[in-house]
Amino acid sequence: MPLGLYISVPFCRTKCTYCNFASDVFSKAVFQAYVDRLCRDLEQAPATAQAMGGHFERNVDTIYLGGGTPTVLDISQLQQIFTAISHNFQVVADAEITVECAPGTLTPAVIDALQGFGVNRISVGAQSFFDKEVASVGRLHKQDTILQDISRLRAAGIGDINIDLIAGLPHQTVQSWEFSLEQTIATKVPHVSVYMLEVDEDSRLGRELIAGGTKYHAHFVPDEDLTADLYLTGCEQLEKAGVQQYEISNFARSGHESRHNLKYWTRQPYLGFGVDAHSMLNIGRGSSNSAGSPHRVLAVRFSTPDSLQGYLGGTQTSRTSVDEHAALEETFFLGLRLTRGVDRKRVSDEFGEQAVAGIRTVIAEMVEVGLMEQRGNMVRLTARGRLLSNEVFERFISAPVA
């Protein structure tokens, strides 16, 4: 099975107050050292896979440059990355190649370069079309910037475009959110991602909200109920416009679903490179059970350090074996993110009836409380279940081992 490649570029022009990713503003002096390290890791991918006990595959059918903002790199540095990929992997002819960007970083020269590297999909981090909301979280663009970037991309022949939106930004109202939705739909982009603002201690805005403070416009953040209502409005409006929800946060016109992200949710193999990059490979031949587990090991997950210093300093990669029980849990809490849900018969065929006995009890409980529904062999989250998805997923993780 072909791999997906994820390349992390943790550099930004500004650090958004809501951001809880391993990205930040760094001096350009460190960019080249980082790109050089990335390229060495790409060259060493077969050895890394072997050391982790995973099966290495040279064929690649999806590539995703995320971050951070990959388009803050110099064109020569982007070229170095894509050259290293082509030298060390066999990229199939119809591969999906995505690059994330912040509005305003797509100069004509950058777009021409990306097209030359084979990039055929761009994810634009708009977050909002309402300038006041964008400015309140530290972003530098305006509504016109987003529209100009989309126009340039289409003129260059790149029409497979995603727009990111966030429900729950400071100063956001029902009216401003509807404006962002209207503007997004009017662009006719084939893919839209809608995220609800995360409130946790891993972002400046999240910490301020938890503390009840007013920095970073925290006192203008909508409450949880309004944020949930905004998300549901987004689901309804996008569906009406023909942009169908296929995952909790993702919507697409037919045939434009993110092939790379689908690898994550359907447990297909992928390799990640760079800061805080995660990988999942099927197990290599000859691997045995993990220590103390009665279940056969099926896959291995590993990740790189979540800081630039740790990554460049060579901190050891973390590794976790995925045995049959863990794989069964993943099949449900990842697969249930998809609107189509999970095929119970297919799961039983793969893992055996006895293995899914405890899972059936969890499904029945979730159906009874209205968080899941069953249609034939398929089980999936309800609209309410998508809002409370983390609670549902926790039940599958704690399901009894057969």
How far is C-alpha 36 from the geometric centre of its chain's CA atoms? Answer: 24
CB 229: neighbour CB atoms within 10 A? 15
Percent of the chain beyond pLDDT 90? 86
CA atoms within 13 A on the CB side of 123: 28
More confident residue, 376 or 22: 376
What's the pLDDT score for residue 317? Answer: 84
Closest alpha carbon to 361 in 402, 391, 320: 402
Q: Tell me how far apart the alpha carbons of residues 242 and 252 are, in angstroms, rounded to a whole number.
A: 8
Q: Tell me how far apart the alpha carbons of residues 281 and 56 are, in angstroms, rounded to a whole number.
A: 8
Q: Is the pLDDT of residue 104 over 90?
A: yes
Per-residue model confidence as pLDDT tens digits over 137-189: 988 899 999 999 999 999 999 999 999 999 999 999 999 999 999 999 999 99
Closest alpha carbon to 137 in 198, 189, 82, 183: 198
Output the CA torsion sign for 281, 8, 92, 246: positive
CA atoms within 13 A on the CB side of 146: 26
Domains in the chain (CATH in brackets) are: 3-261 (3.80.30.20), 340-402 (1.10.10)
Closest alpha carbon to 351 in 256, 278, 267, 241: 267
CB-based burial label for 96 (10 Å; 0-12, 13-18, 19+) = buried
Q: Is the pLDDT of residue 126 over 50?
A: yes
Give Cβ neighbours of residue 349 (< 8 Å, ≥ 6 apart).
Answer: none
What's the pLDDT score for residue 353? Answer: 86
Give the residues across from 164 on adjacent strands: 193
Q: Please check whether residue 294 is in contact with residue 58, taking contact to mean a CB–CB distance below 8 angstroms.
A: no
Per-residue model confidence as pLDDT tens digits over 332-385: 999 999 999 999 999 999 998 888 888 889 999 999 999 999 999 999 999 999
Q: Tell me how far apart the alpha carbons of residues 306 and 328 are, in angstroms, rounded to a whole number.
A: 27
How confident is residue 286, by pLDDT bands cut at 50, 70 and 90? very low
Give the residues across from 322 on adjacent strands: 299
CA atoms within 13 A on the CB side of 309: 0
Q: Tell me how far apart the alpha carbons of residues 236 and 255 are, in angstroms, rounded to a whole number.
A: 20
For all residues of the chain together, what is the average pLDDT? 94
Q: Is the pLDDT of residue 285 over 60?
A: no
Per-residue model confidence as pLDDT tens digits over 320-338: 999 999 999 999 999 999 9
How confident is residue 293, by pLDDT bands cut at 50, 70 and 90? low
Give Cβ neighbours of residue 241 (< 8 Å, ≥ 6 apart).
Answer: 185
Give the residues across from 299 on adjacent strands: 282, 322
